[in-house]
Amino acid sequence: MKKLTAVLVFVLLAGAAFAQKDSLAFDENNKYIYYQVVQQPGLAVDTLFNRALYFFKTAYPKSALKLDAVDRDKGSLTGSGSFLVSKKSLLTSHEDGSVTFTMRIDIKEGKYRYWLTDFVFNPYQRNRYNAYESIPGIYIPLEKPEGKIEKKDLAAYLNGVLTSSRKIGEKLKEYMTKVSAIKKDVGVKKISTKDW
């Protein structure tokens, strides 16, 4: 019984450690950052760089993510984008606002790193057509919510930022792993029922 309890404790610890893997952090300037380093052994800088470039150009519509700057000598690419955040409940869900961000990818031999930062919140409001739209002119850096965003709301928005950052990271990983896998032009397989 004691051994079984010990096993359960370790399972829980392993789970907790895994849950912390995709956390937001503060960078050296005290700005929220989602930062990852990914090993990609055996792949040349050029290959990884071209895949990252392809990611910026095709992974999302330009309204969601666009390429701003490329420095092939330094192996870095920088872009900017936005995603929606909301406070979700059991039955209702609508956009509370959008969060803009900048994204940078640095390439080295056999590995790359990326981060999302400069998270700025733009609140949405209900319009007359029952759609939620941006309130123009209100832009709040998530590091400076004091007096502008309530604590409970901020926690929900940060969770949204983390979820969206993780999704972007996962999509980048797909592109960086194998470009051909991105082009999902898989036709329907033909099978002959005559010979078996």
Residues interacting with other proteins, by CB under 8 A?
Answer: 3-4, 6-7, 10-11, 13-14, 17-27, 32-33, 35-37, 61, 63, 88-89, 91-94, 125-131, 135-140, 147-150, 152, 155-156, 158-160, 162-164, 166-167
Closest separation in Å from C-beta 129 to other proteins: 6
- CA 127 to chain centroid, in Å, comes to 29
Name which of 72 and 108 has its Cβ closer to other proteins.
108
Closest separation in Å from C-beta 138 to other proteins: 5
Closest separation in Å from C-beta 196 to other proteins: 39
Name which of 108 and 126 has its Cβ closer to other proteins.
126
Other beta carbons within 10 angstroms of residue 151's beta carbon come to 8
Closest separation in Å from C-beta 192 to other proteins: 35
Closest separation in Å from C-beta 54 to other proteins: 21
Residue 124 · residue 98 · CB < 8 Å: yes
Q: Name 106's bridge partners.
A: 76, 113
Name which of 127 and 177 has its Cβ closer to other proteins.
127
Residue 66 · residue 80 · CB < 8 Å: yes
Ranges of beta strands (E only) in the chain are: 25-26, 32-39, 65-71, 76-85, 97-108, 111-126, 132-134, 140-141
Q: Taking the C-alpha atoms of 101, 105, 106 and 111 in order, what is their torsion angle to the nearest 10 degrees?
A: 140
Residue 75 · residue 108 · CB < 8 Å: yes
Name which of 30 and 193 has its Cβ closer to other proteins.
30
Name which of 11 and 69 has its Cβ closer to other proteins.
11
